[in-house]
Structure 1
Amino acid sequence: MVVKGIENNALTIIYEKYSKRLYLYLLSLCHNQQLAEDLMQETFIKAFMSLDEVSDGIVQWLYKVAKNLFIDTLRKNKNIISEDEFDMKTISDKTDILKELIAKERNRRLYYVIQQLPIKERELITLYYFGELKQEDIAQQMSLTHGAVRTSLFRIKKKLLKIMEEE
Structure 2
Amino acid sequence: MEEVKRSTDIRLVRKAIRGSVDAYGELITIHKGYLYRMAYLHSGSEDAALEIVQETVLKGFHSIKTLQNPAVFRSWMTTILIHVSSDYYRRNIPFSELPEEEQEQENSGISAEERLDLYAAIRRLPEHYRMVIVLKYFDGLKQDEIAGIMNIPRGSVSSYLTRAKKELRKSLEEGYLNG
- State TM-score, norm by structure 1: 0.70
Q: What are the within-5 Å matches in structure 2 for residues 95-106 of structure 1?
A: 103-106=111-114
- Checking the alignment, whether the CA contact within 8 Å between 2:133 and 2:164 is kept in structure 1 is yes
Is it true that 1:59 corresponds to 2:74 in the alignment? yes
Equivalent of 2:151, from 143, 151, 165?
143
Letter in 1 for 2:138: F
RMSD: 3.4
Is it true that 1:123 corresponds to 2:131 in the alignment? yes
Which consecutive residues of structure 1, in runs of 5 or more, have no partner in the other structure?
94-98
Q: State the shift of 1:62 in Å.
A: 0.6
User: Residue by residue, what CA displacement relative to the aligned partner does 1:13-72 show, whole Å, maximum 9, x if unpaired?
Assistant: x43553333334333444433122111122123323432221251122112212332344
Q: What are the within-5 Å matches in structure 2 for residues 31-50 of structure 1?
A: 31-50=44-63
Name the CA distance, whole Å, in 1 between partners of 2:108 and 2:63: 42
- State TM-score, norm by structure 2: 0.67
Letter in 2 for 1:81: P
The percentage of counterpart residues that share the same residue type is 27
User: Residue by residue, what CA displacement relative to the aligned partner does 1:92-123 show, whole Å, maximum 9, x if unpaired?
Assistant: 77xxxxx9896322211211111121121111
Which runs of at least 4 in structure 1 moved beyond 4 Å after TM superposition? 99-102
Quote the residue 2:6 is aligned against.
Answer: none
Provide the aligned length of Structure 1 versus Structure 2: 158
Name the CA distance, whole Å, in 2 between partners of 1:7 and 1:73: 26
Note closer, same or farther for the CA distance 1:62–1:154 as it changes in structure 2 (3 Å cut).
Answer: same
